[in-house]
Amino acid sequence: MNNHSQNLPTRISLLELAQSGKDHPAWEELLDYYRPFVRRILTRLGVSASDLDDACQLALMRLWRDLVNYRHQPNRARFRTWLSQLIHNTAMDWHRHQRRNNQTMSTETKELKQSLMCESDLEEQIEKEWRQHIVNLALERLKSVFSGDALDVFVRSVEGESAAQISKDLNIREESVYVLKHRVKKRLILEAFELRRELEFPDSTP
């Protein structure tokens, strides 16, 4: 994953690879990246923990099915809007399916309706979740690049701790604290950039 920087401009993203065919091995990796995100959104949309695995599977199936079509209409909407609609629809369908199976759950339906009512709010929340998801993934990748101390330096400095304090606590020279902080942040942005490039279709609108 880390050795692709040299031919970055011409490289095909993971998403694009997955689009090229439904049997492409890139799918597995792509879905691994999406699964935690989808699960979290579904939870927000009221899917119960017991149903989460199934609902997630359903959403990813749809993603797998619809992604090819998405390509044909590239500039229609932002990828995340498309994705959120997909997840939303999946959740809706899931709830409908649930209702059919269990007529008595009226209160639940009410809640569900409430939550589904504000779709614009949902998109905003999904955007927020996605941002966190990407940065989190990037942070996760940093674990294999930097030592725990380096990450701690970065996190502590983000929290506003002084370089002197960090230097003292972690037994690192103060100059090193500055360098590490800077490097980790640079690398974090780079990793986030990589992930976004792999997992997002570039939005047409700037």
Partner 1 sequence: MTNRSASRDPVERIERINPIVDDVFDQADPTKAYGQALESDDDICPLFCAITRIKSRYQEPELIGRGGMKEVYRVYDAKAARHAALAKPLPEFSRDQFDAFLREAHLTARLDHPNIIDLFDMGVDDEGRPFFTMELKQGRSLRGVLNSIKNGEQLGEFPLQRRLEIFQRVCDAIAYAHSRRILHLDIKPENIFVGDYGEVKVCDWGMGVVMAQEQGEHNSAVLLDPDLYGSLLDSAKGTPVYMAPEQKNKRQTKTPQMDIYAMGCLLRELLTLELPADGSDTDSNLDAALAATIGKATARIPSDRYQNVEELRNDVSRFLGGYSSSVERLSLRREAALFYRRHREACAIAFGSLAIFGICVAYFVIQLRLSRQQAVEALERSERAQAVAEQSQAEAVTSLAQYLAEKEESEKRQYQQVLSAIDLSDFVTDSKFLRDEALPSAIAHSMKHLESILIFDPPPDSKAWLQKYYLYFLTQNFDLALELVDQGKFIEPDLVLLADKYLELQDAEGHLDTDEFIALLRELCSPGPGLSRLRRGQLAEKMLIFDSLQRNAIADKVRVVQAWIEINNHKWQNPEMVYEANTETIRLRGKGLTRLARIFSGGGPANQKLCLVYILKPRVLDLREIEISRLSDLTGLELQELDIRQTPVTNLLPLQNNRSLRRVYIDPDQVSEFQLANLPESIEIVQESE
Q: Are 55 and 40 in contact (CB under 8 A)?
A: no
- Closest to partner 1 by CB, 106 vs 148, is 148
Q: Which is nearer to partner 1, 28 or 106 (CB)?
A: 28
Closer to partner 1 by Cβ: residue 112 or 146: 146
How far apart are alpha carbons 202 and 75 in whole angstroms? 10
Q: How far is the CB of 163 from partner 1 (least distance, A)?
A: 17
Compute and round to an integer the Cα radius of gyration of the chain.
21
Whichever of 14 and 112 has its CB closer to partner 1, that residue is 14
Nearest approach in angstroms of CB 42 to partner 1 is 15
Distance, CA of 3 to CA of 36 (rounded, Å): 25
Which of these, 148, 23, 45, 127, lies nearest to 80 by C-alpha position?
A: 127
- Within 10 angstroms of residue 73's Cβ, the number of other Cβ atoms is 9
Minimum Å gap between C-beta 206 and partner 1 is 7
> Considering the complex, what minimum distance in angstroms separates the CB of residue 55 from partner 1?
16
**Distance of alpha carbon 111 from alpha carbon 124, whole angstroms:** 19
Write out the residues near partner 1 by the rule CB under 8 A. 5, 8-9, 32-33, 35-36, 131-132, 134-140, 143, 151, 154-155, 158-159, 179, 182-183, 185-197, 200, 202-203, 206
Q: Which amino acid is at 148?
A: G
Q: Which is nearer to partner 1, 105 or 135 (CB)?
A: 135
